[in-house]
Each structure stands twice: as structure tokens, then as C-alpha cells.
Amino acid sequence: MNSFVRSLREGFRGGHASIVAAVHFYAAAVAFAWLASAPLASALHGALDGHPGAARLAADGGLAVFEELSRTLPELPGTVFATTAPLVLVFLPLALLLLGGAQGVLWGDRARPWRSFWSAGARRFLPLLLRALPGGLYAAAVALLAAGVLRGVEVAVREPSGAGVFWSGAALSAATVFAAIVHARTVLGFAFAIREVRPDERFFHGFLAAVVLSWRRFPGAHAIGGSFLFLGAAVAFLGVYLAGVAGHGTWPSALLAQAGWLGVAWLRAAEIRARIAFAAAEAPAPAIPTAEGDLDLGGSI
């Protein structure tokens, strides 16, 4: 618990480098959203076409609406991904460059982060790509396991009826999806983080070290991913909510909404820094620059 708290605190102390990383993450997200908005809207409209209107939400506690939507939801991710797959494939290499650049300016030479961001990303691109390959296979295995659990929940709540059974099944399904996402992000995130702690380690050994770390320090390792996932969702929701309060179509509304997404990007930078700090506690590590100077995190967390 102590290492989790100290890693979390270290994550929020990135200073100017965290702002640099956040701006890059935010700009990439805006570019992707701008390019994908039209095909994504088309896919969502096609998938939800014919479903009951909002006027029926009040009837029967909304169960009829949710039950009808649940028949489409399993197909929705595939439909959305098929529509945006070309953009996703283009942005995956960019995402690795952004991640490498962020790790470089957050934990390397941060004297000129704006100038060194892309060069740091280029130097780390191949090592991070090699870590991402087994990470993708591991994430696929986690997804298959989660799909099996979801299928079991669906079978368990198929025969009984009533609001209690329905919402219990929905809660179990949501918890399964959340746990699968957090675990996959935890393993892959530490696979990338260990690259900074052990830069000379071979990629497969580094990935295995991430898996071992994620399971051996299960509560703390997963608490980092879960906490930042919750904080990011809360900040995004707050930005959208305040934008609605300010009135859609006005410049304060747009400013508040974009401020929320920029806050999500900044939290992403803080999460990267927290993961590396947590991973550095597991093995001897070189002196890592912090907001207060050089601190050898290898034996201090």
C-alpha cells in the first residue's frame, strides 16, 4: 500500500514534462476524433436503428429498452471497430511514438521536453513495439476469458425474471468488463514501464517481468490502473457536464468540454510516471529525475 501511495504521488509530480506529454496525447486524440467522427456516427446509427425511443424509458423501469439494447451491444464493438479499423491501424504506430516520447520526457532528460519528445519516441519505438506484441496476445486471452464469464452470466440470468435479476446480471457483466480492462492495461502498462527501469533487458523477459509484477503485487499494481481509469472518466464526465450547464453551442461550453479532455490526457501522463515509479521499486534502477531532483527509486519506494 505504501508503494502504491508513493508511486501515485510521484505520478502527479511530473511538472512541465507532464504538460508536454498531455498536449501531445490531447492533440492525437483530437485528430483521431475529427477523422473518425463521421464513420463512427454512421456505425452507431446503423447499430441502434429501430430501437425503442426515449419515451419508453419510463415504462417498466426501462427494462424493455435495456433488454432490447442488450441484444445489439455484443455486435456493437465489432461494428464500430470495422468502421474505424483503417484509422486505428494508422494511429497504433503513432500511439507507440507518443508513449515513447512521453516516457522519455517524463523520466529522461527533461531540460528541453518540447524538442526531445519525438526523438525520445523514435528511440523507444522498436522496444515498445516488441513489448506490445506479446501484450496484445495476453490482452486477447484476457478478453476470451472475460467473454466466457459474460456468457455464463447471460445463461444464469436468462430464465429468472424481474428487475433484481436483470440488474444483478448487468452489474456482474459490468464488473467483469471493468476487471478485464484494468488487468490488460496493467500488464501492458508495466511492460512499457519496465523498459525505462531495465532498458537493456530483452523484450520477452521484460514482458514476463511485467506479468510477474502485476500478479505478485496485484493490489497495488491494479490500483494504479483502476484509479487513473476512474479519475479519467470522472474528469471527462465533469467537463461534458459543465459544458452542458454552460449551454451547448457557446464558446464557454466548448472550452469546458475540451478542458475535460485535456485533463484526461494529463492524467494519462501521470499514470505513466506512476507506473514507472512502481516498477522501479521492484529492481535496482538508475537514478530517475523527479520534480525535486534525482531520487533513486530503486530502493526508496
Confidence of residue 301 (pLDDT cuts 50, 70, 90): very low
Contact 121, 104 (CB under 8 A): yes
pLDDT digits 0-9 by tens, 267-286 = 999 999 999 999 988 655 44
Among 37-46, 83-92, 106-115, 134-143, top mean pLDDT goes to 134-143
Identity of residue 118:
W
Number of Cα atoms under 13 Å in the Cβ half of residue 231? 18
pLDDT digits 0-9 by tens, 2-32 = 788 888 888 898 788 999 999 999 999 999 8
By three-state DSSP, how is residue 157 classified? coil
Mean residue pLDDT across the chain = 82
By three-state DSSP, how is residue 235 classified? helix
Report the pLDDT value the prediction gives residue 222, as an integer from 0 to 100: 94
In angstroms, how far is the first alpha carbon of the chain from the final one?
10
Is the pLDDT reported for residue 288 higher than 60?
no
Contact 280, 301 (CB under 8 A): yes
By three-state DSSP, how is residue 293 classified? strand
Report the pLDDT value the prediction gives residue 53, as an integer from 0 to 100: 53
Alpha carbon distances (Å) from 139 to 59, 132, 182 = 39, 10, 10
Q: Given CA atoms 28, 30, 31, 33 in this order, what sign does their dihedral have?
A: positive
More confident residue, 38 or 98: 98
CA-derived radius of gyration, the chain? 21
Confidence of residue 67 (pLDDT cuts 50, 70, 90): low
Annotate 92-138 with DSSP letters as a single string: HHHHHHHHHHHHHHHHS--SSHHHHHHHHHHHHHHHHHHHHHHHHHH
